[in-house]
Chains A and B, each alone.
Chain A
Amino acid sequence: MLQLVADGFIIGSVIALGAIGVTLVYSILRFANFAHGELLTWGAYLAWTALIGIVAVWGPAEPLGPFSFGWPLLVALAISAVATAALALLVDRLLFRQLRQHGNAITLIMASFGAALVLRNLLQFIYGSIPEYYSREIQVAIRLIPRDVLGGLRITPDQLFVLGLTAVSVVSLHGFLTRTTLGKAMRATSNNPQLARVTGIDVDQIIRATWIIGAVLATVAGVFSGLTVQLRPQLGLDLLLPLFAAAILGGIGSVYGAVVGGLIVGLAESLSVPLVGAEYRAATAFAVLIAILLIRPTGLFGERT
């Protein structure tokens, strides 16, 4: 039981970080971005490439403390975040921006659906479809709670790292959105883009910031997923439904909602395994989604406007 909850929080962290990007793009660019999952995949794979590059130049490094990875993975994560943000900006420039100017909101969704397929297949073309790992080290899980208490709890240092860095990311983002001018301008734009413009806010700049934040968090989420599970070209596709479910559950536009939504969807997935079996785990997100659409479509923290 405890173990399932812990697993749920770990997958929930990945979902939460991805869902923040979905919800930000949705509230500022006003469309459901079906390509967001691919940013997670690309983030994870670009980090893998960067890792190989770093190891090739500086040689392999000792793992940091109890973790399975050394400093190169952290540097690779940073490099990949920059590259993934550049990719997101490129797709926006070539595709979404043109459609924003001429088309309507719904062509944007369709374009994002197409972009998702192109990005995924391009990645599969480059990297092939065999799963990869950042590290082949087998980690010893730490037993936090003995087996006789609610089934006990074992957790690897990497998993603790994921939980910790997720918390740090969310807290920093919160600070950014409530304290800085750019953050407030993003919230203002999400509330009312026309008013934002006449207030002097350059909405194009806000959109760029949104993509960058979304892509950086997607990279972190993708790397976490690669670290705790494995790297697969389908990683983002499989996470897309949970991301949407989390964003809608939390209330579109609400960052905290996306985090809570992500954790709930992660927990639901994990707890559903003993009930419906691991093979239907992914359908849990769908059940959550339909339930929220029927019961409270504005989500838990939806803004009343």
Chain B
Amino acid sequence: MTALRVVELEAGYEPGLPIVRGASLAVEPNEIVALLGPNGAGKSTLIKAIVGLVPVSAGRVFLHDRDITGRAAHHMAHEGLGFVPQTENVFVNLSIEDNLDLAASILRVPKKQRLRDLYDLFPDLARQRRLLAGRLSGGQRQMLAVARALVGEPKVLLLDEPSAGLSPKLVGIVFEKLLDVRATGVTIVLVEQNVKAALAIADRGAVLVEGSTRIVGAARDLAGDPQVAALYLGQHQGGS
């Protein structure tokens, strides 16, 4: 049984202009998979398509072998899919507590206990639960975003560039946390530009180029793979 299986997915913002073109990916339970690729490859679009924010035109998505292709985004959290967007990933006009509390009420999980677990996992948040989320610093905000996505005890957590805009030290802290999260039994798909840091915590990696998955392999193999480096460097020079 796979935790998340994406089969030949095709998705895009406008009809007839697919951005994701035949992406496939199989993620085993409790794995961390890093989804890599140059700027504009369609990584964000791919995970947004998985969680139902971008329309899918072909292909299928299975969550624990249940077909969830094309379900409305607001069903996905109930299905057990957590998502941390790249930017604007907390409700800045609500307090930390209300960010979590709202998600718990919506997803009908036992509120007290779930929040206590999350505060144990993220003690920084517990200390300032009345603070407006908009006032948090970058690292803390990222923690809250992860905590918010975990409220419904998702089976699979998708993160879009959680390291973006963070100092190397904070990246280390956030990624440590992701290992803690995985230890609670969650499967993680991590979109990253920060190849080295991502492959350091991932079990496997996949490289997305022009909307389709090109290379899939063990993290430690990809880290030294000249082909991966070439894909990156080549695209970087071409793209900018």
Q: Do chains A and B touch in the complex (CB under 8 A)?
A: yes
B91 adjacent to A192 (CB under 8 Å): yes
Quick check: which of B3-11, B25-33, B98-106, B219-227 contacts chain A, the rest being far away?
B98-106
Q: Which residues of B contact A200 (CB under 8 A)?
A: 74-78, 103, 106-107, 152
| B-contacting residues, A187-228, CB 8 Å | 187-188, 190-192, 194-203
A185 vs B107: C-alpha distance in the bound complex, in angstroms?
A: 12
B106 adjacent to A194 (CB under 8 Å): no
Q: Which residues of B contact A191 (CB under 8 A)?
A: 91-94
| B-contacting residues, A63-119, CB 8 Å | none
Residue in chain B with minimal CB distance to A303? B93
| A-contacting residues, B146-194, CB 8 Å | 148-149, 152
Most interface-central of B51, B92, B152 (chain A CB within 10 A): B92
A255 vs chain B, min Cβ distance (A) = 12
| A-contacting residues, B76-111, CB 8 Å | 76-78, 83, 85, 88-94, 98, 101-103, 105-107
A184 adjacent to B92 (CB under 8 Å): no
Which bucket holds chain A's interface residue count? 20 to 34
Residue in chain A with minimal CB distance to B51? A198
B102 adjacent to A199 (CB under 8 Å): yes
Interchain Cβ contacts within 8 Å, total number: 74
Q: Which residues of A contact B228 (CB under 8 A)?
A: none
Q: Which residues of B contact A198 (CB under 8 A)?
A: 51, 53, 73-74, 76-77, 83, 85, 149
B139 at the interface (CB under 8 A from A): no
A181 at the interface (CB under 8 A from B): yes
A163 vs B29: C-alpha distance in the bound complex, in angstroms?
A: 60
Residue in chain A with minimal CB distance to B90? A195
A304 at the interface (CB under 8 A from B): yes
Q: Which residues of A contact B94 (CB under 8 A)?
A: 184, 187-188, 191
* Chain A contact residues, majority secondary structure: helix
Most interface-central of B89, B90, B92, B106 (chain A CB within 10 A): B106
B74 adjacent to A197 (CB under 8 Å): yes
Residue in chain B with minimal CB distance to A180? B105
Q: Which residues of B contact A197 (CB under 8 A)?
A: 52-53, 72-74
A305 at the interface (CB under 8 A from B): yes
Most interface-central of A192, A195, A199, A303 (chain B CB within 10 A): A199
Q: Which residues of A contact B92 (CB under 8 A)?
A: 191-192, 303, 305
B22 at the interface (CB under 8 A from A): no
A128 vs B53: C-alpha distance in the bound complex, in angstroms?
A: 48
Q: Which residues of A contact B51 (CB under 8 A)?
A: 198
Known contacts A184-B94, A188-B94, A191-B94; A199 and B88 CB within 8 A of each other? no
A194 adjacent to B74 (CB under 8 Å): no
A195 adjacent to B74 (CB under 8 Å): no
A200 vs B92: C-alpha distance in the bound complex, in angstroms?
A: 17
A181 vs chain B, min Cβ distance (A) = 4
Residue in chain B with minimal CB distance to A305? B92
B148 adjacent to A199 (CB under 8 Å): yes
Most interface-central of B72, B73, B92, B101 (chain A CB within 10 A): B73
Most interface-central of B74, B78, B89, B152 (chain A CB within 10 A): B74
A202 vs B52: C-alpha distance in the bound complex, in angstroms?
A: 13
A203 vs B74: C-alpha distance in the bound complex, in angstroms?
A: 8
Interface string of A292-305 (1 = CB under 8 A from B): 00000000000111
B52 vs chain A, min Cβ distance (A) = 8
Q: Which residues of B contact A195 (CB under 8 A)?
A: 85, 88-91
B59 at the interface (CB under 8 A from A): no
B74 adjacent to A201 (CB under 8 Å): yes
B134 at the interface (CB under 8 A from A): yes
Q: Which residues of A contact B90 (CB under 8 A)?
A: 195
B205 vs chain A, min Cβ distance (A) = 24
Most interface-central of A195, A197, A198, A303 (chain B CB within 10 A): A198
A185 vs B102: C-alpha distance in the bound complex, in angstroms?
A: 7
A181 adjacent to B73 (CB under 8 Å): no
A197 vs B134: C-alpha distance in the bound complex, in angstroms?
A: 19
B53 adjacent to A181 (CB under 8 Å): no
Residue in chain A with minimal CB distance to B104? A181
Most interface-central of A190, A197, A202, A203 (chain B CB within 10 A): A197
A304 adjacent to B152 (CB under 8 Å): no
Residues in chain A within 8 A of chain B (CB atoms): 181, 184-185, 187-188, 190-192, 194-203, 303-305
For the complex of A and B, the 10 pairs showing the least CB-CB separation, nearest first, are: A200-B77, A197-B73, A181-B105, A200-B106, A198-B83, A188-B91, A191-B93, A184-B102, A197-B74, A202-B74
10 contacts between A and B (CB under 8 A): A184-B102, A188-B91, A197-B53, A197-B72, A198-B85, A199-B103, A199-B106, A200-B106, A200-B152, A304-B134
Residues in chain B within 8 A of chain A (CB atoms): 51-53, 72-78, 83, 85, 88-94, 98, 101-103, 105-107, 134, 148-149, 152
Additional pairs, 10, CB under 8 Å, beyond known A197-B72, A198-B76, A200-B106: A184-B102, A188-B102, A191-B92, A194-B53, A195-B88, A195-B91, A197-B52, A197-B73, A198-B85, A305-B134
